[in-house]
Amino acid sequence: MPNITVELLSGRSLDQRREFAEAVTAAAVDILKARRASVRIRFDEIEREDVANGGTLESDRTD
């Protein structure tokens, strides 16, 4: 049973999560030959102030 954990910055819509879950599930079924019902995806939301890239907090980025 594939257990897939996805970390992403907060703010993604429910529709985006649905679309992502569908695409990742389809890939797991195709590539891993997993049963669709056994593919588990967990979303972990991270707040922008809780992550830094290149020494800069995401909440401080302007680009």
Enter the pTM of the model: 0.83
Whole-angstrom distance, CA of residue 59 vs CA of residue 62: 8
Tell me which H or E stretch contains 19: helix 14-32
Average pLDDT of the residues in 9-33? 97
Q: What percent of the chain has pLDDT over 70?
A: 100
Q: Exposed/middle/buried for 28, CB within 10 Å: 0-12, 13-18, 19+?
A: buried
